[in-house]
Structure 1
Amino acid sequence: MTFQEELIKIGQDIEANSGMIATDIQREFKRNYDGHFTKISEANVEEEIAILIQIFADGLQLEDGDQALERIHSWGERFGKRAAEIELSAEKAMLVVPVMRKELYRFIRSRFKEERHQFADYYTMADRLNPLIDGAIYSFTRAYTTTNEAVFEKAQKEIMELSVPVVPLTAETAILPVIGSIDTKRAEELMNQSLERSRELQLSTMIIDLSGVHMIDTYVAQNLYQLHEALRITGVTVVFSGMRPELAQTIVSLGIRFDDLTIVSSLQQALHQAGLKLQE
C-alpha cells in the first residue's frame, strides 16, 4: 500500500468515526477543564467539532491541500462569526483545540497500530494534518475578532450619535447641547450629525449650547468655527450659547477671533435671538 493510499484509508476511518471522536473530545474537554458552554448547547458543539473532523478527514484523502484549507477557512469564518454573535467564550473555544488535537492523534495512532503502517509515515501524515488544524484556529480567530470589532464599532457609533443630540424646538429651530470634552471622533460626529439633522429637519436656526463644555483649546475652537461655517453655507443660522467666562478667556488667550459668530451668554438669550422665549 502506497503512502497516499494509507492516508486515504486513515481519512476514511476518521470520517466514519467523526461523531465518536467528537463525543470523546467533548467528554475529555469537560473532564480536563470542567468546560460547560452556556451560549451554545453541547449537541451544537459536538456537531461543529464533527464537521471540522470530517473536513480534516477529507484533507488527508485529498492530494490537493489547498482545497482542504479552503473548506477549513469557510468553516472558521462561519463558526467564528457565529461564536462572536452569540458571545461564546473565545477562551473556552480555544481550550477545545489541544483536546481535539490530542484525541484526533490518539485515534490515528490506534489505526497506525492496527494497520501496521510505517512509523515514518506517521510524521509525514502529521505534516499534512497540522496545517489544517492550525488553519482552523486562524480562520476561527480572525472571524471572531473581525465580528467583535464590527459590533464594538457599531456600539461606539451609536454611543457617539447619542452624545450629539440635535433636539427640535420648533419646525425650523433646534438645539444641540454639547457636553464634555471634544476629541477628533466627536468633532467629526458633531459636524456630520449637525449637517445631516439640519437637512432632515429643514432648519433655519441651530442653537449650540456650550454650557456643558468645561475645557476649550485651539482644536476645539477651530472645530466649532468650522461647524459654524459649514452650517452657515447650508443656510442655517448658528447661535452659540453658554460660553462661560473661563472659556471666553481661553479663546481670547489663544488669539481666536469669533467676530462674525453670534455668541450669547445664556440659553434664554439664545432662544430670544431665535425669536423664541421660555414660558414663565
Structure 2
Amino acid sequence: MTLVFNVSDYLIENAESLAVEIVEGVLHKMKLEIPEWEKEQAITMYIEFMGFLGKSLIDDKEGVPEDLIVWSKKNGEREASSGGRISEIIVRYPPTRDIFTEILTRISLEFGLSIKETAFIIKRINAMLDISLNETVFAFERLTDKIMDETQREMAELSAPIVPVKDGIAVLPLIGAIDSYRATYILEKVVPQIAELQVNHLIADFSGILTIDIEIARYLYQIENVLRLLGINTIVTGLRPELAQTVVNGGIDMSSIKTFAHVKQALESVK
C-alpha cells in the first residue's frame, strides 16, 4: 500500500490544481457554461473532495466530506426553487465520473499502482459521488414537495373565498377542480370561518367547477351536514346537469338542499 500512500500525499498536496482540472474537464466535456460563482463553488468543493479522498486512503476510512453534502443539497434545492429539473444536475455526474477516472488512471500510471489499487481508489470515488447524487435528488424532492404543498394551500385559499353579500348571507364560490385536499381544506378551514361570520344562509356556487367525482361529492355533502348542525342553511347554485348526475349516481340525497341555477335566484329566495 506504500504506492497508494504516495498517491494519497499527491492528492492532498495538489488538491487545488486537480479540482480546477476536474471542473474545467467536466464543463469542456459537456460543452457547458455556468456562472463564475457556481464554478468557484464547485472548485472549492472539489478541493475539499480531493483532500478528503487523500486522507481517507491513508486512514482507510470511508465516508464523504461535509462540504460535498452541503454542495449537493444546495444544487438540488437551487434547481427546485428555480423550477428547474433534477435532470439538469444528474446529467453532470457521468462526465464527472469519466474525468475522475481519467485523472486517477493517469496518476496511478505515474506512481506505478496496480490495476487492483487503481480500481480501489476509483471505487471509493464513485461511492462518494453516489452519495452526492443521492443527497442532490433528496434535497430536490424535499423542497419540491414543500413548494407543491405551499402552492396547493395557497390555491385552496384563493379558490374558496367567503363573500358576505347581505346580513346573514354569504356566498362561497367554488372555482377549478375540487380534490380531496381542497375538500378537506374547506371542511377544516373554511367552515369555521363561515361559523365566525354568524351567517344564517350560505350559497355554495358550483358554476366554476368543471368536474367532480363521487368521493368529493360525498365530502361536500358532509360539509353541508356540518353547516346544518351549526344552524346554517346551505343553498347550492350553478350545479350543472353532469355534476348533478354524479351526485345522484353516488347515492347522495340532496332533496333537502335548495338548488338554483344562479346566485341571483338564490338571493331572491332568501327572505
Question: Does TM, normalized by the shorter one, top 0.5?
Answer: yes
Structure 2 counterpart of 1:21: 18
Q: CA deviation at 1:144?
A: 1.6
Residues in 1 aligned to 2:260 and 2:84: alpha-carbon distance in whole angstroms? 53
The yes-or-no answer on 1:9 pairing with 2:9 is: yes
Quick one: which of 50, 53, 59 aligns to 1:59? Answer: 53
Structure 1 counterpart of 2:28: 31
Q: Does the CA-based 8 Å contact 2:7-2:107 persist in structure 1?
A: no
Quick one: which of 227, 230, 246 aligns to 1:231? Answer: 227
Structure 1 counterpart of 2:103: 107
Structure 2 counterpart of 1:241: 237
Residues in 2 aligned to 1:35 and 1:53: alpha-carbon distance in whole angstroms? 21
Alignment root-mean-square deviation, CA = 3.4
Which blocks of at least 5 consecutive residues in structure 2 are unaligned?
none
Deviations 1:178-217 (A, max 9, x none): 3455443343333334314314545443211234456666
Which blocks of at least 5 consecutive residues in structure 1 are unaligned?
276-280
Q: CA deviation at 1:142?
A: 1.8
Q: CA deviation at 1:250?
A: 6.6
> Which segment is superposed worse, 133-142 or 2-11?
2-11
The secondary structure found in structure 2 opposite 1:164 is: coil
Structure 1 pair 7–214 and aligned structure 2 pair: CA distance change class (3 A): closer
The secondary structure found in structure 1 opposite 2:52 is: helix
Q: Does the CA-based 8 Å contact 2:63-2:128 persist in structure 1?
A: no
Structure 1 pair 23–125 and aligned structure 2 pair: CA distance change class (3 A): closer
Residues in 1 aligned to 2:98 and 2:185: alpha-carbon distance in whole angstroms? 51
Residues in 2 aligned to 1:55 and 1:167: alpha-carbon distance in whole angstroms? 59
Q: Does the CA-based 8 Å contact 1:21-1:103 persist in structure 2?
A: no
The secondary structure found in structure 2 opposite 1:169 is: strand
Q: CA deviation at 1:175?
A: 0.7
Q: CA deviation at 1:267?
A: 1.7
Structure 1 pair 54–272 and aligned structure 2 pair: CA distance change class (3 A): same
The secondary structure found in structure 1 opposite 2:172 is: strand
Q: Does the CA-based 8 Å contact 1:35-1:92 persist in structure 2?
A: no
Residues in 2 aligned to 1:88 and 1:223: alpha-carbon distance in whole angstroms? 35
Q: CA deviation at 1:56?
A: 4.4
Q: Does the CA-based 8 Å contact 2:203-2:236 persist in structure 1?
A: yes
Letter of the 2:29 partner, please give it.
N
- Residue correspondences, number: 269
TM-score (norm 1): 0.76
Residues in 1 aligned to 2:96 and 2:247: alpha-carbon distance in whole angstroms? 64
TM-score (norm 2): 0.78
The secondary structure found in structure 1 opposite 2:131 is: helix
Residues in 1 aligned to 2:250 and 2:96: alpha-carbon distance in whole angstroms? 64
Q: Does the CA-based 8 Å contact 1:206-1:239 persist in structure 2?
A: yes
Q: CA deviation at 1:70?
A: 6.2
Letter of the 2:5 partner, please give it.
E
Structure 1 pair 180–192 and aligned structure 2 pair: CA distance change class (3 A): same
Q: CA deviation at 1:249?
A: 6.7
Structure 2 counterpart of 1:45: 39
Q: Report percent identity of matched pairs.
A: 25
Structure 1 pair 246–30 and aligned structure 2 pair: CA distance change class (3 A): closer
